[in-house]
Amino acid sequence: MSDVTVRKPRPKHLALNQIRLPLPGIVSILHRISGAGLFLLLPFLLFLLDRSLGSPETFETFSAVVGHPLVKLLLIGLLWAYMHHFCAGIRFLLLDMHKGLELEAARNSSRIVLIVSIVLTVIIGVKLW
């Protein structure tokens, strides 16, 4: 008997533009991206909190800064990041407790996370705008 087996070349598929992530994968990478974005903009958010709580004068500065359309857009983006991180985080906590581990349940909860975080962003965003 020959020991030689013909090995098929294993597919190495790390082309990021070709990989189609499943829904739970999308939720997972967005969790990381939203977390990184929130971390990067922490100094800006602390600056806003600082101005808003300093004095009536700095509160005016705060109002002027957040009143700028571009800043509003940025804040809506951060709001989505927070909402997504929040919802996806709760999903991960439930997964840690072995809830919703089955394929179908995991797909459904991913869909719920994506939808709920966008809906919350729209509701709160409209209220604050």
Partner 1 sequence: MVKRQPVGAHYGLKDWIAQRATAVFMAIYTIIFAVCALALPEFSYEAWSGLFSAGLFRFLSFLFFLSLFYHAWIGVRDIWMDYVKPTGVRLALHLVTLFLLVGYAGWAAQILWRL
Query: CA 64, CA 125: separation in Å to the nearest integer?
Result: 18
Q: Which stretch binds partner 1 (CB under 8 A): 1-9, 11-19, 30-38, 105-113?
A: 30-38
Residue 21: helix, strand or coil by DSSP?
Answer: coil
Query: CA 113, CA 91: separation in Å to the nearest integer?
Result: 8
- Check residue 52 for interaction with partner 1 (CB under 8 A): yes
Q: Which of 1, 19, 55, 103 binds partner 1 (CB under 8 A)?
A: 55
Closest CA to 105 of 87, 91, 85, 89: 91
Q: By rule CB under 8 A, what string of x and - marks binding of each residue 57-96 to partner 1?
A: --x--------------------------x--xx--x--x
User: Which are the contacts of 77, defined by CB distance < 8 A and separation ≥ 6?
Assistant: 37
Residues in touch with partner 1 (CB under 8 A): 32, 35-36, 38-39, 42-43, 46, 49-50, 52-56, 59, 86, 89-90, 93, 96
Q: Which residues define the annotated binding site for heme?
A: 85
